[in-house]
Amino acid sequence: MEKIRVIVNGGAGKMGRSIVKAIYGSEDLDLVGVADLLNQGEDAGTVAGISPLGIKITSDLERLLKESGAAVMIDFTSPLTVMDNIHAALQHRVAPVVGTTGITGDNLEQIKKWIEQYDTGAIIAPNFSLGAILLLKAAQLCARYFQAVEIIELHHDEKLDSPSGTAINLARHIYKAAGKQQPQKEALEKIPGTRGGNVDGIPIHSIRLPGMIAHHEVIFGDVGQVLTLRHDTMDRSSFMPGLFLAVRRAPANKKLIYGLEKLLD
């Protein structure tokens, strides 16, 4: 069986190091390049805490895309650079699998145009955890029976964007499942923003603290009762089964797939 050749962009970050380590232990994925602005020139395996791999971390993503023969680029970088990374990958006919959040609806429309132009697909997911997808499915079911809901998302303090892409995705799916916007009541905010943000009429509250990874809580309320759904990511290894599912589907994909749930339906 021929292995899928993979580049990891953002490979020196916390998530990137976990991905490099997981690919090293995979039977059907072949790591052929690692890009990052950090740890340039160092061995990607050593940075990831495993044996040296003979792959030096480089800041030249363009060169990797052009010369490595990669079929897939995994991107866990920054909302500030992710669109440039996706465009570069598609230009070189390398399928991007993206976990970087902060991608907007307008960004997705632009990505669709690039996909059509370069005849190469992309898979983008706010969350690659299978547990997070089950949380989404459960929340959609509950939305049909409860009149009100709020979302709390908690992440590590190095996460730049808020709310998380997972929280936004949750709110949009809950709104669709409910079939209507929940009742809105006037709120007197003594300090602006204390009631959180708002997506399709659903309040979202963001917390950033050291010691956390990724946590999402959906709280439903109705007369005389409250139902809480919560998913906690305790280790980044939980993202690998979903991420690798996307990587394995990516080479043959010719469209935009947004959300890991699309690969599980």
CA atoms within 13 A on the CB side of 232: 4
User: 237 burial class (0-12, 13-18, 19+ CB within 10 angstroms)?
Assistant: exposed
The whole-angstrom separation of Cα 189 and Cα 191 is 5
What are the residue numbers of the active site? 155, 159
β-pairing verdict for 214-222 and 225-233:
antiparallel
Radius of gyration, CA atoms only, the chain: 19
**Exposed/middle/buried for residue 163 (C-beta within 10 Å: 0-12, 13-18, 19+):** buried
